[in-house]
Amino acid sequence: MTSSTTIRLDDDLKKKLQKDLDAAGISMNAYFVMAAKQLVLQKRVPFDILTEPEIPNKVTEKAMLLADAKDEGLVPDDSPSFTNVNDLMKSLDED
């Protein structure tokens, strides 16, 4: 016996999913049944869960470039360094 389940997907995601499943020769129903069976058998999500890579904004990108330039010795690293938390906190309080 089987039962019916409704899954709501974003239209764009559904189109991309359908395209990939068509290329693999798998129906959407077969894919979800297969994923559900594997979750039950393995007692875990049967695949790695990935996220979209984050794209740094302009400020972060600039900071990353500056850090790389300092690491390479292209730009002098005049940032203060600290050997203990108290000195760091004192420096932060001065600003």
String of DSSP letters for 57-72: -HHHHHHHHHHHHHHT
- Give residue 79's pLDDT: 84
Residue 95 has pLDDT above 80, yes or no: no
The domain segmentation of the chain, as residue ranges, is: 1-50, 58-94
Q: Who contacts 18 (Cβ-Cβ below 8 Å, separation ≥6)?
A: 28
Q: How far apart are CA 34 and CA 11, in angstroms?
A: 22
pLDDT by residue (tens digit) across 24-77?
Answer: 999 999 999 999 999 999 999 999 988 888 888 999 999 999 999 999 999 888
Q: Are 51 and 41 in contact (CB under 8 A)?
A: no
pTM over 0.75: no
Q: Who contacts 75 (Cβ-Cβ below 8 Å, separation ≥6)?
A: 66, 69
Residue 90 has pLDDT above 70, yes or no: yes
